[in-house]
Amino acid sequence: MRKTILCLLVLFGLFFAFAAGAEETFLSNQAQVYTGTTTVSLTIEEKYTVVIPPSLPLVYGAEETPLTLAVSGLDLTPGYAVRIAVESPEGALTQSGGEGRIPYTLTGPDGPFTEKVTRTEGEFPLSVTVDAEDWFAAPSGEYDGLITFSVSAGKYTVKEGE
């Protein structure tokens, strides 16, 4: 019986010694403080609305047909501007099912239009210009043309007042 009691006491002693050591380790791990840094960044993209008419009917014989671009809702990074451009101001209306062509020029207030760079909202007048001789030289029929504009925001040089 003494051996049994002695064995139990030794087991209890080992248990309490282990538990006390584990608690000590747990408390020392809990007491450690770790520090670090996190880099946080945010980019808000430029916002703007550019309205370009989806179609523009031309009247036979009209040498200038107005086309207005509108820019609104500008929320740009400081130093940025909106650029509206065409690859070439010159193009041609082509006859549907025929070989007729009517050349035109996209013009702005200062002549042939290639681009407009602006930091201000507003309407910007353009015109599709067709010479009278080209109207009268064209064979009868239906004609179509396409003007492709590209619009982007970036660090563009803006002319004074635009």
**pLDDT per position in the chain (162 positions), as tens?**
555 554 444 445 545 555 544 444 445 556 677 888 999 999 888 899 999 999 999 999 999 999 999 999 999 999 999 999 999 999 999 999 989 999 999 999 999 999 999 999 999 999 999 999 999 999 999 999 999 999 999 999 887 766
Does residue 41 fall inside a structural domain?
Answer: no
145 and 115 in one domain?
Answer: yes
Does residue 29 fall inside a structural domain?
Answer: yes
Looking at residue 68, its amino acid is: T
For the beta carbon of residue 57, count every other beta carbon within 10 angstroms: 7
Contact 84, 69 (CB under 8 A): yes
Tokens of 6: 């002695």
pTM, rounded to two decimals: 0.71
Domain hosting residue 1, numbered range: 1-36
Using CA atoms, how far apart are residues 79 and 157, in angstroms rounded to an integer? 9
Number of folded domains that form the chain? 2
134 and 63 in one domain?
Answer: yes
63 and 25 in one domain?
Answer: no
